[in-house]
Amino acid sequence: MNGQVLGPKRYYILTYGCQMNVYDSEVLSGYLESMGYIPANSEEDADVLIINTCAVRQKAEEKVLSKLGKLRSFKKRNPEMLLVLWGCMMQQKGFAEKISNKYKFIDLIGGPHSLQRFPQLLEKAQTSSKTLIDTSIEGEKEHPHIKRGHSFKAWIPISHGCNNFCTYCVVPYVRGPEISRSPAKIIQEVKELSKKGYKEITLLGQNVNSYGKDLKEDVDFADLLQHLDGIEGLFRIRYMTSHPRDFNDRIIDIIANGEKICEHFHLPVQSGSNKILKLMNRGYTRDYYLELIDKIRSRVANCSITSDIIVGFPGEKEKDFKDTLDLMQKVQFDAAYIFIYSPRKGTKALEMAGQVSPEIKKERIKELNKIQSIISLNKNRDLLGTKQEILVEEKSKTNPNMLTGRTRTNKIVHVSSNGNLLGKLVDVEITEAKSWTLTGKCLS
């Protein structure tokens, strides 16, 4: 049916991975709409289908690879359909060439650095007999077009890339070195969004705390936060992801004294073992991390602290695992995202001795998840009967009569409501607590 229907052409984007990828998909949508495309209702209805990929863990890659058969059938049914593979997975050495040799029906392959060239690439791909590939790491990072996913909350990149080279991580290889955006551009963007009525912005970067180090201007993350906190009209400022090593006292003070910066600290610890932290090249010790948490809790009342943890990193012995368990018990995270170590090509950890067996990795993740779910439940129970402000974000995925929002501390709250509260800040009383979600009743 596609290609034969008159009227505007349609696009569909499937996004895997982190918030930066979600933002990149918003930019791709913006470019497509500037070219006259409109959104399609489903993958098969699209004239242009884009898969925006992630390379952080093997699982994300497998999901994309398992989709390629389906894409082949779409192309058979509608040879006019343009199939695009985009994002970090394509940026890995030799990957795009391998894919284009094996799956010749793919029309275009591009990476995060090629975003601004996307309109020209797409046009060229329509007449090219071979897969068009653009995985150059050069590319303008400012975009004239963006189609934001929401009208009340927005993602704003403050930096691209990463210089940290944690030994397990592929990001510095696929997203390149850290480049900070100019503070003036960020401030202008936030002011414009605030004028349009946006209530919440989330500043994005692989390591937001090192913002500004590469700029000529004398500006750091604390300065940026302080400036944005003063922008009129805006209500909530979030940021991700932080690196514990660079989370300094000034940042804590500015958050403590700020009005709009949310009291949620996502501080990926990755491991509780000094030996493993060193092998990971994280640049801090467990004692440093524990002190940082104490400092934050003593200065920012009622804050929440969440983390990322990797189990089964090479060399992780039972004692190291127990150190992580112990750290989790000591910190009492509000939530923790626990991942099984996934060996990535080109990273140092891939070559390290002492790779942990899949069985042990599975046992360890199971144990950590079990403990964390008890900790999260207890933390959430502390909120029973309290009043919380939530930003209502969407209809509940499981119950159409419920709405879902987030507290300033980033906890998910379900509320029942007849009114149209989407995009509104609402006070609720917490009536039920589970490990990962809360239920509340509207007070206004």
Q: Binding of ligand 5AD at residue 304 (CB under 6 A)? A: no
Which range of residues in 122-130, 328-336, 338-346, 401-409 is near ligand 5AD by CB under 6 A? 338-346
| Contact between 307 and 336 (Cβ < 8 Å) | yes
Q: Does 169 bind ligand SF4 (CB under 6 A)?
A: yes
Q: Which does 162 bind (CB under 5 to 8 A by kind): ligand SF4, ligand 5AD, none?
A: ligand SF4
Reading the block at residue 422, the tokens are: 């989407």
Query: Least distance from C-beta 242 to ligand SF4, angstroms?
Result: 9
The site partner of 206 among ligand SF4, ligand 5AD, none (C-beta below 5 to 8 Å per kind) is ligand SF4
Interface with ligand 5AD, residue 311, by CB under 6 A: no
DSSP string, 354-414: -PPPHHHHHHHHHHHHHHHHHHHHHHHHTTTT-EEEEEEEEE-SS-TTEEEEEETT--EEE
Structural tokens at position 262 = 């949310």
Give CA–CA dist 129/125, Å, rounded: 8
Assess 165 for contact with ligand SF4 (CB under 6 A). yes
440 touching ligand SF4, by CB under 6 A: no
Q: Please list, in sequence order, all residues whose beta carbon lies within 8 angstroms of the beta carbon of residue 401, skipping any fewer than 6 positions away.
A: 416
Query: For ligand 5AD, which residue of 40, 55, 56, 224 counts as binding (CB under 6 A)?
Result: 56
Sequence-ordered alpha helix ranges (H) in 176-285: 183-195, 221-229, 249-257, 274-279
The answer to the question of residue 57 lying near ligand 5AD (CB under 6 A) is yes
x-marked contacts with ligand 5AD along 252-271 as a string, rule CB under 6 A: ----------------x-x-
Q: How many other C-beta atoms are found inside a 10 Å radius of the C-beta of residue 101?
A: 9
Residues in contact with ligand SF4, counted by CB under 6 A, come to a total of: 10
Q: Which two tokens stand for residue 393?
A: 């974000």
Greatest Cα-to-Cα distance within the chain, rounded to the nearest angstrom: 65
Which of the ranges 334-342, 355-363, 405-413, 420-428 carries the binding residues for ligand 5AD, by CB under 6 A? 334-342
Give buried/exposed letters for 197-232 (b at 16+ CB in 10 A, else e).
ebbbbbbbbbbbbbbbeeeeeebbbbbbbbebbebe
Report the alpha-carbon distance of residue 68 to residue 387 in Å, rounded: 48
- Which is closer to ligand SF4, CB of 106 or CB of 277? 277
Strands 412-416 and 402-407: antiparallel
Q: Which is nearer to ligand SF4, 103 or 341 (CB)?
A: 341
Residue 3 Ramachandran class (φ > 0 left, ψ -120 to 50 alpha, else beta) = left
Of 21, 159, 207, 306, the residue at the interface with ligand SF4 (CB under 6 A) is 207
- Region 214-243 residues binding ligand SF4, contact defined as CB under 6 A: 243
Which of 39, 339, 355, 439 binds ligand 5AD (CB under 6 A)? It is 339
Q: Which of 115, 154, 158, 171 binds ligand SF4 (CB under 6 A)?
A: 171
352 touches ligand 5AD by CB under 6 A: no
Retrieve residue 107's tokens. Answer: 């029309």
Choose from ligand 5AD, ligand SF4, none: what does 57 bind? Cβ within 5-8 Å by kind.
ligand 5AD
Q: Which of 159, 242, 342, 407 binds ligand 5AD (CB under 6 A)?
A: 342
For 437, the enclosing helix (H) or strand (E) is: strand 437-442
Quick one: 240 or 391, whose CB is closer to ligand 5AD? 240
- Which structure tokens are listed for 387? 């009043």
End-to-end CA gap in the chain: 49
Of 11, 12, 31, 168, which one interacts with ligand 5AD (CB under 6 A)?
168
Does the protein bind ligand SF4 through residue 162 (CB under 6 A)?
Answer: yes
- Closest Cα to residue 43, out of 35, 51, 52? 51
CB of 430 to ligand 5AD, least distance (A): 29
**Closer residue to ligand 5AD, CB minimum distance, 111 or 268:** 268
- State the amino acid at position 441 in one-letter form: K
* Nearer residue to ligand 5AD within complex by CB, 264 or 344: 344
**Considering the complex, what minimum distance in angstroms separates the CB of residue 161 from ligand SF4?**
9
Nearer to ligand SF4, 171 or 438 (CB): 171
Interaction of residue 346 with ligand SF4, rule CB under 6 A: no
Residues with Cβ within 8 Å of residue 386, at least 6 apart in sequence = 429, 430
CA distances from 379 to 84, 221, 302 (A): 44, 29, 11
Residue 276 as a binder of ligand 5AD (CB under 6 A): the answer is: no
Based on the shown chain and the rule CB under 6 A, indicate whether residue 164 belongs to the binding site for ligand SF4: yes
Q: Which residues bind ligand 5AD (CB under 6 A)?
A: 56-57, 168-169, 268, 270, 308, 310, 339, 341-342, 344
Q: Which residues bind ligand SF4 (CB under 6 A)?
A: 162, 164-166, 169, 171-172, 206-207, 243
